[in-house]
Amino acid sequence: MTAQSIIDKLLEEGDSEPIDGWDFSWLSGRATEARPSWKYFESLSKRMSTANAVLDIQTGGGERFAEILSRIKQHPKTLAATESWPPNIEIARNMLEPYDVSVVEVLDDAVLPFNDETFDLICSRHPTVTLWTEIERVLQSGGTYFSQQVGAGTNSELSDFIMGPRPISTTQSLDRAISLAMATGLEVIDAQEESLPVVFFDVGAVVYFLRKVICTVPDFSVVQYREHLIQLHGYIEQHGSFNSHSQRYLIEARKPR
């Protein structure tokens, strides 16, 4: 194969693979991302095993929530999940149906369609937005919100390579999350953050990732950024990989009794 045909093949592979749901198994062997030391799923599993009513906000395709439910023996009496992206709704409902989870379609920035003080545990992994006033409202007294979130500057190395240098916004910072949680009257009982390596081994993996994680390059398309992708392919050929970093933080907040 010629060098150009190799590039075309990789770009086509990354651009044609379905991106519904929140499963990244297609990237196996093509990209890696380190996981935070606090072990979100393991920690959440322990909390869910003693909870009575649980809400998973922005569940995606429900894959991760189902994974946790499969780990615990005693399921909470009430289980609910929200999701905003229409292609994910049916995926989540099918994925979570065996666990009697009610999956509700809700916009990320909309009021939650639940009564006050409904849940004793609310969780969310990588939400696009956190409505702290709504979380405080639907939490029971003594209930907790447990969330792993995407921090400011995540994959800035990749987005800068594709789009050029951009200022890093502070809207996704841990400090801001703590301030907003406390402003609603919640008590922050745990807060941690880490910078984690993300490694891409071919440009097809980059294309797939950018199509799926749209916040990295919001207007991404292969057509628009083809020349930058070709340059990135050359970089990977020369260096063996392209290295970026994801910023992650954990926040746990409790509603006072």
Question: DSSP string covering 157-207, please?
Answer: HHHHHHH---PPPSTT-HHHHHHHHHHTTPEEEEEEEEEEEEEESSHHHHH
DSSP code string of 120-169: EEEEEES-S---HHHHHHHEEEEEEEEEEEEPTTTTHHHHHHHH---PPP
Domain 3-254 has CATH 3.40.50.150: yes
DSSP 41-109: HHHHHHHHTT-SEEEESS-TTSHHHHHHHHH-SS--SEEEEEE--HHHHHHHHHHHGGGT-EEEE--TT
Q: CB neighbours of 81 closer than 8 A, spacing ≥ 6? A: 55, 56, 57, 59, 62, 65, 92, 96, 101, 102, 103, 104
What is the distance between the alpha carbons of residues 52 and 48, in angstroms, rounded to a whole number?
Answer: 8
Residue at 218: amino acid letter: P
pTM of the model: 0.90
CB 210 within 8 A of CB 162: yes
Backbone φ and ψ of 36, nearest 5°: -65, 155
CB 166 within 8 A of CB 155: no
Q: Shortest CA distance to 250 belongs to which of 192, 194, 196?
A: 192
Give, for all 257 residues of the chain, the pLDDT tens digit.
788 889 999 999 999 999 987 789 999 999 999 999 999 999 999 999 999 999 999 999 999 999 999 999 999 999 999 999 998 999 999 999 999 999 999 999 999 999 999 999 999 999 999 999 999 999 999 999 999 999 999 999 999 999 999 898 888 999 999 999 999 999 999 999 999 999 999 999 999 999 999 889 999 999 999 999 999 999 999 999 999 999 999 999 999 99
What whole-number distance in Å separates Cα of residue 232 and Cα of residue 13? 16
Domain spans of the chain, in order of start = 3-254
**Residue type at 241 in one-letter notation:** S
Amino acid at 24: F
3 state SS of 33: strand
